[in-house]
C-alpha cells in the first residue's frame, strides 16, 4: 500500500468519527450513460455506468462510500471492451431545505480498476481515481427521492463524463 492510499484511508476514518451520532443515513442506486473523453474517448464508444452507495450526514454535509461499475466498448473492435469499476470515498454538500428539491455538489477519491478484455484475453490495472459532479434531488416521499446528476470520473487510464439518474432512501 503506498503513502497516498494510507493517507486517504486515514482521512476517511477521521471523517467517520467526526459524524455526529444523530446523523442520517441515505442509501442510493443510480445508472446512466458514460461518455469517454481525452485519449480514452479516442478509442472507446459511449457506454454505461451504475452506482450504489451510502451517505452519512448531519445537516447539508454528507460523507460516505460508493461502488461503481461500468463498461465501454472499443471503437474499432466489436468484441473488445473496458470495464472500469471501483470504490470511492464521497463528500456531498446539499443546498436548500430537506423535503424540497435540493441541488447538490459532490466529490470523491478512491480506487479505479480497469479491466480490458478482447475474446479470451483479459488484463486489469488498478489506479488512483477521482470524481466530482452536481445534481438535483426530487423528494417522492417522506424518506425517499429520485435524483439526476452529472459527474466527471477519471484516473490515468480513463476519463469520462457520466449522466445518471437514481433512487435514494433514508434509513
Q: What is the pLDDT of residue 74?
A: 87
Give the torsion sign (CA, 115, 150, 135, 143): negative
The answer to whether the CB of 23 falls within 8 A of the CB of 171 is: no
Other Cβ atoms less than 10 A from the Cβ of 65: the count is 17
Q: Tell me the β-bridge partners of 125.
A: 114
CA distances to 23, 81, 122, 129 from 125, rounded to whole Å, are 36, 14, 10, 12
Confidence of residue 39 (pLDDT cuts 50, 70, 90): confident
Residue with cell 467517520: 16
- Greater model confidence, 144 or 74: 144
Q: How many whole angstroms separate alpha carbon 58 and alpha carbon 52?
A: 20
Q: What domains can be seen in the chain, in order of their start residue? A: 3-16+25-155 (2.40.160.20)
Report the predicted TM-score, pTM, of the whole model to 2 decimal places: 0.83
Q: Tell me the β-bridge partners of 163.
A: 33, 150
Q: 134-169: per-residue pLDDT in tens?
A: 999 999 998 999 999 999 999 998 899 999 999 999
Q: What is the pLDDT of residue 122?
A: 93
**Nine cell digits for residue 129:** 481515481
Rg over CA atoms, the chain: 17
The answer to whether the CB of 14 falls within 8 A of the CB of 8 is: no
Amino acid at each position: 500500500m503506498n503513502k497516498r492510499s494510507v493517507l486517504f484511508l486515514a482521512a476517511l476514518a477521521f471523517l467517520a468519527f467526526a459524524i455526529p451520532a444523530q446523523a442520517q443515513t441515505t442509501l442510493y442506486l443510480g445508472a446512466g450513460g458514460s461518455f469517454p473523453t481525452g485519449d480514452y474517448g479516442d478509442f472507446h464508444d459511449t457506454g454505461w455506468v451504475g452506482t450504489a452507495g451510502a451517505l452519512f450526514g448531519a445537516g447539508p454535509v454528507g460523507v460516505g462510500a460508493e461502488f461503481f461499475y461500468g463498461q465501454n466498448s472499443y471503437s474499432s473492435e466489436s468484441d473488445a471492451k473496458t470495464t472500469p469499476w471501483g470504490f470511492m470515498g464521497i463528500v456531498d454538500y446539499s443546498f436548500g431545505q430537506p423535503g424540497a428539491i435540493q441541488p447538490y455538489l459532490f466529490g470523491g477519491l478512491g480506487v479505479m480498476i480497469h479491466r480490458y478484455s478482447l475474446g479470451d484475453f483479459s488484463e486489469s490495472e488498478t489506479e488512483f481515481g477521482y470524481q466530482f459532479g452536481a445534481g438535483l434531488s426530487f423528494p417522492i416521499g417522506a424518506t425517499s427521492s429520485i435524483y439526476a446528476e452529472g459527474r466527471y470520473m477519471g484516473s490515468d487510464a480513463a476519463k469520462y463524463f457520466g449522466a445518471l439518474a437514481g433512487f435514494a432512501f433514508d434509513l
